[in-house]
A and B are shown apart, each in its own frame.
Chain A
């Protein structure tokens, strides 16, 4: 054991302890193969459900293939799942006393939120990879070459990381795994209220405003543009959709600036 004294030592232990907690999440996955299988099946279900069931009835604005139109939306949906995943895990730790044990140990204070968000990033990459395979199987593909494609995935990862801090904060705020579980379905309207599955043109004005500013929409628009998939915003559209890449980066920065300090304060606060 080591006293956490100098800033450099503290930083080192924050990283080491954070990695230990990332390893913990991986260990949990290994104990629960069912979860991996669910993670594998979920994207396939989404692709089939939206691609073929909804796709049969929805017209893509400029006449493209619906499944090409859909995949960026599904990537954004998977990205958004970071909020729910991290929230549930933080709330479970807080309600089961695991968080108290961490707090009573001589470990780095910041390791818990950083470990949790780091672990989510790995899970997110895995889910994204599976989604890509599912997409390729149904005929989706990027059309604009390597660099824009890489940029699109990078944007997803950046936004995912920012969103995972929202999960940390909400999980610490609710502190109760049952409440957190009950909140998970609320994620669906957030992703539906966007351009992920249908164009926002037809929505009533106020709803369209919300949908256009939804980070899910901007991420979807950005990926459509970078992948060269149909439905990329053009002409007279709302500002966030006209500048989707910038907006995704702004969203990510804003979420991090707000939720990292809030989460850290919530985690370190003593006095309950």
Chain B
């Protein structure tokens, strides 16, 4: 792992009386993807806006590639790209027109701006739509154009604020592919998302934010390990639910959740119960199980556990 390229220390920000950030710390090693997760209103967008020089923190400081986001904002802007929730391109212009304009605004000479526009359109599969006004693009195409607009200068750090919110699964897949390609080129990506599977697929490290602070960090696997494996039990007869719940409660030390008329799920302590023991205990209590399975928790379960201490309902 290389040195951190994005560093935030003790960021505070409030709007009126509302505290959006209360001492946020973050550190992203170069060339990795950091997924920032958090419920709505946790402070994800505020953090990205500060890191992308759009907003000043009330306290604390942040550096991108060694430059302070407040005092050396100009230097920072030469090294970052920002793609937001809303596709920030000019709807009236064509895809090519947008890329050329932004290329010029990045101070590329005209010819180079034109060449770079064509390169990016070609590489990210938008060449066919290049000369159509963006207003006629699909949501996924717009988002892709928004994304590649950030790439004109080959930024060191790319901030993606919920890049796939509102997209259909196919378009999401396409955006994911594009992001993976960027990372292969060595770009560092800081990605906020509400989709846990997105973070699971793309992120090397995850920072979970709640109430304006980072409450957990780690790789997806590390985070999953913190809440232990899950045990799912499907009953042959739903009437046996109370008995089954009692057995699981004794085994796991916590109340299981009923996920269906005939299904229960519970988090197991990290002590390593064996499947055979579990089946035997159920059998002993006269509970007939149609299916018993041990699995890694999903990131959703990790997230819900961390952010509001409730068991997931699914």
Which of A's residues lie within 8 Å of B, judged by CB? 1-4, 13, 16-17, 20-21, 23-24, 27-28, 31-32, 96-98, 100-107, 111, 270-272
Contact = CB atoms under 8 A, between A and B. Distances in A.
B153 interface: yes
Contact of B90 (A16, A28, A100, A272): A28
A4 B105 CA distance: 13
Interface of B: 49, 52-56, 74-75, 77-78, 80-82, 84-94, 97, 101-102, 104-108, 133, 149, 153
B106 A106 contact: yes
Given A96-B88, A100-B54, A27 B107 contact: no
Nearest 6 Cβ contacts at the A-B interface: A97-B88, A28-B92, A97-B86, A106-B77, A101-B88, A104-B82
A3 B85 CA distance: 28
A98 B90 contact: yes
Given A20-B101, A31-B133, A97-B88, A272 B107 contact: no
B77 A31 contact: no
Contacts of A272: 49, 54-55
Given A27-B101, A98-B88, A271 B56 contact: yes
A30 to B, nearest CB: 9
A32 B97 CA distance: 14
Contacts of B92: 27-28, 31-32
Contacts of B108: 1
B84 A105 contact: no
B91 A107 contact: no
Nearest to B89: A98
B90 A105 contact: no
Contact of A96 (B74, B81, B86, B97): B86
Contacts of B84: 97, 100-101
Instruction: Identify which of A100, A104, A111 gathers the most chain B CB atoms within 10 Å of its CB.
Output: A104
A107 B107 CA distance: 7
Given A100-B88, A101-B84, 6 more contacts: A4-B74, A98-B88, A103-B53, A105-B102, A105-B105, A270-B55
Given A31-B92, A31-B94, A97-B86, A102 B55 contact: no
